[in-house]
Amino acid sequence: MQTPRGIQELTVKIFGDGAGHDDILEMADKPFIKGFTTNPTLMRQAGISDYSVFAREILEKIQEKPISFEVFSDEFLEMERQARIIHGWGANVYVKIPVTNTRGESAAPLIRKLSSEGMQLNVTAILTVEQVQTVAEALNPEVAAIVSVFAGRIADTGRDPMPIMREAKATLQNLPHTELLWASCRETFNIYQADEVGADIITVPYSILHKLDAIGTDLTEYSLESVKTFYEAGRASGFTL
C-alpha cells in the first residue's frame, strides 16, 4: 500500500479552524498552518464573551497570516455595519459573510457591494454549486476572496462532495484572486481529498490537526498500538466476568 505524501508536499493550504486562544497561538508558529478561521459558534463554545477584545488579542500576535472573522447578524444592513468594523481590524482580516440569512435570502447584493469596495470576504455556509455561481457573479475579480463550501456537511447527507468541489473550482476559474475552501473537515483524509480536487484551502479543527503526526504510520504498527490501547483500557477498568 502506497504511503501518503507528507503535508508539506501538498498544494492545498491548511487553515486552523477554532476559537481557543491558546490553540490558535500554538498553531500560529507552525509553518504548515497558512491561516485561520473562526466563527461566533466556536467562540461561544470557547467561552469568549467579548468578540472585539478576543479578535484584537489574536491579531496582535498574528499579523501576516490571513484570518477570517464572521458577522453575526441576520439582517443585511447590520451585517454590513459589522463587516466594516471587522474589516478595520487588520489588513490580513477576511470578513465572513453567510451565503444567505436565516430566511434564505441571498447575501449576493451585500457581497457585491462590499467586494466592489475592496473588502476581503470569506463567503461561508455554501453547499451547492448554484450558490457558488451566485457568489462568483457577485465578487469583484480584482479583490481577494474565499468561497467556503461545506464539503463535510455535504458528505454528512450521504453525498460525495468531490464532484461538487470540482465543479465549484471550475466555476471560480475566472476569479484569479478568489480561493476555494474545503470547509467542515471531518478527518485527516479530507486534506488529501481537498488537494486532489484542487481546493486552495482546507480548514482543519485543532482536534484533527493533532492527528497529523499519524500520517504515514505503518498500518500493522498502528493496529498493534490500537490493541495495546484497548488492552490497557480494559485492565484499568477493573472489569471481571
- Known catalytic residue at 96: yes
Asked if 145 contacts 177 with a C-beta cutoff of 8 angstroms, the reply is: yes
Q: Name the active-site residue from 13, 61, 96, 211.
A: 96
Domain ranges within the chain, ordered by starting residue: 9-214
Q: Is 0.85 surpassed by the pTM of this model?
A: yes
pLDDT in tens, 124-143: 999 999 999 999 999 999 99
Closest CA to 179 of 201, 161, 149, 197: 201
CATH number 2.60.120.10 is the correct assignment for the domain at 9-214: no
pLDDT in tens, 154-187: 999 999 999 999 999 999 999 999 999 999 999 9
Class of residue 107 by CB neighbours under 10 A (exposed 0-12, middle 13-18, buried 19+): buried
Q: Tell me the average pLDDT of the chain.
A: 95
